[in-house]
Homo-oligomer: A and B are copies of this chain.
Amino acid sequence: MDDLDIPETFLWSGTASGIKKSGNPDLALAYSSFPAITAGVFTTNSFPAAPVRDARRRLDERSRFRGLVVNSGVANAATGEEGMRRNREMIGSSAGLLGLEDDEVLASSTGVIGDQLPLETIEEGLPDAVDDLAEHPASFADAIMTTDDQRKISSVSLDGLDANLLGVAKGSGMIRPDMATMLGFLFLDHPVEPDFWQSTLERACDVSFNRITVDGDMSTNDTVLGWASDLPNREPIGSDDDEAEALAEAVESVCRDLAEQIVLDGEGASRLIHVTVEGALDRAVARDVADSIAGSSLVKTAVHGGDPNWGRVFSAAGATGHDLDAEAVRIKLNDVTVYDGEPVEHDAETLRASMSDSRQRIHLELGSGEQRAEALGCDLSAEYVRINAEYHT
C-alpha cells in the first residue's frame, strides 16, 4: 500500500454515513483538481441502475468531469423514476459541497437492489467526506466495498509521461454466474484524447473485467470509469503518439491486476482458476468455452475440493454445444496432460498435490484453429453459500 504510484491531481475520501447498518464506510468521493477527460464502460444488463443510466447519458454529452460520488449499501437499481431523481439529488448535494457544477459530477452505486437511496443519510455524511479529501485512495477504496474482504488498488508509474495511473475496484460475489456489482475507477494525472481514452478503456476491460463478469452477463450497476486530468501544460496522448502503447499497456495491466484481486477476493474463494483455451476456429468459440469452464459450478467445487476431476472440464467445454472434435482435444491441469483425444496416464499424485496451490491452471487445446481466449474464475465454497444466503434484508 505504501509503495503506490499515486497521481497527483486527485483527492479521495470515504466515510461511514450510515447507509450500511454495519457502520462500515459507505460513501466515497473523488475530486480532480483539473477537469478530467472521462471515459466509461457500463453494464450490458437490460435493467441498468439509475446511476448507470445517468452516467451513460451524460458521458455521451460531455467528456470532462471533476467529481465522483459513490455510495455502497444501496444499488439504486429497480427504483424507477424516483431512483433517477435521487441519483441527481446525491450528485447535486455532492457538487454543492465540492464547489462544482452538478454537470461536473458523476455518481455510482452498489449494494442491495430495489431500495431507494437514503438521501438524508447521505446528505448527513457528505460534509465529512468532503472534509476528509486527501491524497491517498485507501479510504475511497474501503468505502466502495460491499462483501469484499480486501480493498482493491493497483497502480503503475508511467516514466515516459512522468505520470501515474491508479485504479480502485470493488467486486466480490460476481464471478459468473453470480452477478454482483463490479465497480472500477482509474485515475491518471495526464491529459488524453477522449476517443483514445475511451477505446483504451474498452479494450482493457475486454481482457480483464469482462473475462470475469462475462459479456452480457452483468449486474445492474457494473461500471468502469477512467479519469485523466487535463493538465494545462501537457500534450494530450492520442492513438498516434509514441506513448500511446505504453499507456494502453498500463491501463490493461492495472485492470488485469484489479480483476485478479476481485477473483481472489471472490466470496469464500480460496483459489484462482485461470482457464486458457487455444486452437479454436474463432475467438467467440474460444471465449465461450473458457467462460463455460470458469463458470461451471462443478469445476469450481472440484477445484475447491482439490480434486483433479478433468471430466467436468471436458463436460463444461462440451456444454457450449459448439461443433468441437473430442478426438482433437487436449486438456492440461496445472501443466499435466490428462486427456489427449482419450484419457492419458499421468502422475496422479503429483497432480493432486498441485491442486492445493492458490492458482490453478486449466488449459484446453481444441485442435481446430488458431484462436485463443482466457477466463478467470475462482473456486466455489460452502462459505460462498453462507455469505449469499445471509446478505441483505
- A interface list, Cβ under 8 A from B: 44-48, 75, 77-83, 112-116, 173, 177-180, 216-220, 295-298, 301-302, 304-305, 307-312, 314-324, 326-327, 329, 338-339, 341-343, 348, 352, 380-382, 384-386, 388-393
Q: Is the CB of A46 within 8 A of B323?
A: yes
Chain copies in complex? 2
- 4 closest pairs, A vs B, by CB? A113-B311, A305-B389, A80-B342, A47-B318
Check B307–A389 contact: CB distance below 8 A: yes
| A324 CA / B178 CA spacing, docked (Å) | 20
- List, in ascending order, chain B residues with CB within 8 A of A309's CB: 112, 391-393
Q: Is the interface of A mostly helix, strand, loop or mixed?
A: loop
Q: What residue of chain B has the Cβ atom nearest to residue A81's Cβ?
A: B342
When distances are taken between beta carbons in the complex, the residues of chain B under 8 Å from A45 are 315, 318-319, 321
Which residues in B have their C-beta under 8 angstroms from that of A177?
A: 177, 295-297
Q: How far apart sit A389 and B297, CA to CA, in the bound complex (Å)?
A: 10
Q: How far is the CA of A177 from the CA of B377 in the complex (A)?
A: 15
Rounded to whole Å, the gap between the CB of A290 and the closest CB of chain B is 14
B390 and A385 form a contact (CB under 8 A): no
Enumerate chain B residues within 8 angstroms of A390, measured Cβ to Cβ.
305, 307
Q: Bound state CA distance, A219 and B314, in angstroms?
A: 10
Question: Could you say which residues of chain B place their CB within 8 Å of the CB of A382?
Answer: 382, 385-386
Contact A78:B393 (CB < 8 A) given known A113-B314, A296-B178, A317-B47? no
Q: Is the CB of A339 within 8 A of B307?
A: no
Residues of B within 8 A of A82 (CB): 342
Name the B residues within 8 Å of A79 (CB-CB). Answer: 342-343
Instruction: Find out whether the CB atom of B304 lies under 8 angstroms from the CB atom of A389.
Output: yes
